Amino acid sequence: MQKSMIRKVLVANRGEIAIRVMRSCREMNIRSVAVFSEADRASYHVRYADEAYCIGPAPSVQSYLNKEKIIQVALETGCDAVHPGYGFLSENADFARMVKEAGLIFIGPSPEAIEQMGDKITARKRMIAAGVPVVPGTTEAITNDEEALRIIRQIELPVMIKASAGGGGKGMRLVHHENEIESSLRAARSEAKAAFGDDAVYIEKYISSPHHIEFQILGDHHGNIVHLFERECSVQRRHQKVVEETPSPNLTPEVREAMGKHAVAAAAAVNYFGAGTIEFIMDDQHNYYFLEMNTRLQVEHPITERVVGVDLVKLQIQIAEGKPLPFRQEDLRQNGHAIECRIYAEDPANNFMPSPGKIKHITEPLGLGVRHDGYVYPGYEIPMYYDPMISKLIVWGTNREEAIARMRRALYAYKISGVSTSIPFLEKVMQHPVFIKGNYNTHFIDTYLKELLEVSECDGLCEDVAVITAFIHYLDELGRVQNGAHDGKVAIRESRWKQMGKSLNLRRN
Ligand code: ADP
């Protein structure tokens, strides 16, 4: 592959990940071009970019999924590369191919690798051929109920019926009893057809007490592939990750090494280059199986960045430029512990209903070991058209205990008003004895949901106090000015903040 310098990148995405990519571009002296929908005019990614162009109405199909329009903007603005972020077109082989055919660099893997890994049935076959363990199940699409019944009797209930084109937990059904097979097959098929335009489904053994463990992969155009260790993503709701951490509290060094080798073999099987993730499901006996490969940057990539000490976006760009990986497997180490919490504009108490609306006030958590990747600001109206994730809170500590304490401190300091958020729920997760012990699995949220949703006496009060104290602060400031503080004479009296604290004798649990 010829080396080519990237000077200007179009970021085909929105929100926090668009800004995340642009930050690395800025550090590398690369200009960034944002695209946005009519609903996103005020989005911070539009302000952050060097240039920004509207590509259509709010619905994604007319804007962020409009391949031709995006490529047209890239060409007209003199970009030499396109970064797809995650979601939207990031795992769309046609888009990667069209970008290439337009003479631009796609900052990601080859269209062939996306195709082979994007179809889960094809990926399972590839992995079996490469000697990577896959979840016991079918290697062909299931076409009728009798066939399904025969296979399910072979591999034994419970099983998962999964969409071959699946993603985001869609088109997936857990089957416990034979009499559910017919309805589950029908439901999985129609959900898959609606979400992906492809109703092919397959059957997998349901792994009980499962852990979701994934390995970060990087490959270059010179045949080098390394893994950057694992992420434990078992705190999930409806098969979607909520909290991620690295290192996993559930791996031994031996299992980690074996999984890492299988992850590299999985990527090598499709001649992978770029950043990618090999997802495994692991039971509590440390038996692990390939689930799928995500051929893009993951939402949770920052925890790997922090513990391994790399900038994954910068490496993606350097790989796309044709540069070799700057390290070998034996150079990489895990240093300390990192945790990420996904912050959603949603109401956990109301069945996690999305809570779009206007952000009135936001206090971002700061301090040692805290990273906040977000895109909202006071006055910003969260559109209802897109994923309700508003930011990612990432902390690092020298060990897991310190990282948990730091996450609690950061969540405590994180204040958003105007919309409901998952912050109080995440605080409960960080305080839960099972999470603290570390031996949780993907059933954690469902099992302890009631406790995690409990509102402690102080919760509502503390929110109210935040508003009241802000108002008192305002009154204090007003008083200081009226008392002549602008002349250098500050009125000396006990702060109303202190008075308030004394009178309420507040204590958060
Ligand atoms: P998607 O691509 O839709 O995200 P995945 O195959 O990655 O689907 O699975 C998402 C989650 O569903 C996993 O992290 C795990 O919690 C659960 N899951 C998937 N397959 C199985 C299985 N065979 N046994 C147990 N849990 C599973």
pLDDT in tens, 412-467: 999 999 999 999 999 999 999 999 999 999 999 999 999 999 976 555 555 555 55
Q: Hey, whose CA ends up nearest to atom 8 of ligand 1?
A: 169
Express each pLDDT in 125-181 by its tens digit. Answer: 999 999 999 999 999 999 888 888 899 989 999 999 999 998 888 899 999 999 999
Residue 51 CA, ligand 1 centroid: distance in Å? 39
SS3 120: helix
- Alpha-carbon distance 257 to 382, whole Å? 42
Q: What is the DSSP letter of 323?
A: P
> Are 215 and 301 spatial neighbours (Cβ–Cβ below 8 Å)?
no
Q: How much is the pLDDT for 475?
A: 65
Alpha carbon separation from 260 to 89, 251, 319 (Å, rounded): 28, 11, 21
Q: Which helix (H) or strand (E) segment is 374 a member of?
A: strand 370-374
Give the residue carrying structure tokens 């002349």.
487
Atom of ligand 1 nearest to the CA of 159: 23
Atom of ligand 1 nearest to the CA of 205: 23
Residue 81 CA, ligand 1 centroid: distance in Å? 33
Radius of gyration of the chain (CA): 24
SS3 content of the chain, % helix, strand, coil (to 5): 40, 25, 35
Nearest to 205 by CA among 161, 163, 263: 161
**26 classed as catalytic:** no
Q: How much is the pLDDT for 506?
A: 45
Alpha carbon separation from 126 to 118, 119, 120, 280 (Å, rounded): 12, 11, 10, 15
What one-character-per-residue DSSP string does 271-295 give? T--EEEEEEEEE-TTS-EEEEEEE-
- Alpha-carbon distance 355 to 362, whole Å? 16
Neighbours of 329 (CB within 10 A): 14
Atom of ligand 1 nearest to the CA of 279: 7
> Are 163 and 170 spatial neighbours (Cβ–Cβ below 8 Å)?
yes
Name the token pair of 215.
């390995």
- Alpha-carbon distance 249 to 254, whole Å? 14
Mean pLDDT of 59-87: 98
Residue 366 phi/psi, 5-degree rounding, is -130, -170
Q: Which of 296, 306, 342, 406 is catalytic?
A: 296
pTM (predicted TM-score): 0.90
Nearest to 291 by CA among 169, 451, 447, 459: 169
SS3 251: coil
> How does residue 194 score in pLDDT terms, banded at 50, 70 and 90?
very high
Q: Choose the residue to mutate in 239, 283, 292, 444 for probing ligand 1, maximizing ligand atoms within 8 Å of C-beta.
A: 239
